[in-house]
Amino acid sequence: MKYIGNSKYDSIVLGTALGVLAPAILFFSYYLIRYRGMYFPAYIHYLTAGENFLPIISLCVTPNLLIFYAFIWSKRDKTTQGVLAATFVYPLCVEKTVEVALKILRDPSFHPEKEYTVAPQLVTQQNAAELYSESTSTQ
């Protein structure tokens, strides 16, 4: 079976863009459907204060599964790699972005840095329980 235009939509950049935009669109749609009367920064604060932000962001990444499988089935491997990369990087970047956004909202004199680095952390059997308790504890 010949795939028409197989290379036209086979790009890591396209996959990454779709992998980032789909969760963002779903997150904003959830806001419009469920909390449309709430001011958007107040909505973000509400989610972070109730420790619901990261679980909702995690659920918003699920459309990437559909995108991933659609490109797998059409044999567009480069696009699939971009979607997969965005799916893994998305939660890390969003967490840092929200942290900086909340600092800006709370302190008008705060000026964000030009670059932020998210430090990687190796999870092993020895430190998994400790890391889990740190990430789920209230701050």
Q: Enter the tokens of residue 59.
A: 């659920």
Question: Which residue ranges make up each domain of the chain?
Answer: 12-136
Cα Rg of the chain (Å, integer): 18
Name the nearest CA neighbour of 76 among 13, 25, 24: 13
With H, G, I as helix, E, B as strand and everything else as coil, classify residue 108: coil
CA distance 117 to 120: 9
Per-residue pLDDT at 1? 43
Q: What is d(CA 78, CA 101) in angstroms, rounded to the nearest whole number?
A: 33
Per-residue pLDDT tens over the stretch 94-138: 777 777 877 887 888 888 888 877 777 777 888 888 877 776 664
Determine the average pLDDT of the residues in 51-70: 85
Contact predicate 56/47, CB 8 Å: yes
113 touches 47 (CB < 8 A): no
Q: How confident is the model at residue 73 (pLDDT cuts 50, 70, 90)?
A: very high
Look-up of token digits 């929200």: 98
pLDDT band at 32 (very low <50, low <70, confident <90, very high): very high
For residues 98 and 28, which has the higher predicted lDDT (pLDDT)?
28
Residue 128, pLDDT score: 83
> What's at 54, amino acid-wise?
L
Please compute the mean of the pLDDT values over residues 26-34 and round it to a whole number.
Answer: 91
pLDDT of residue 139: 47
pLDDT above 90 for 22: yes
| pLDDT at residue 26 tops 80 | yes
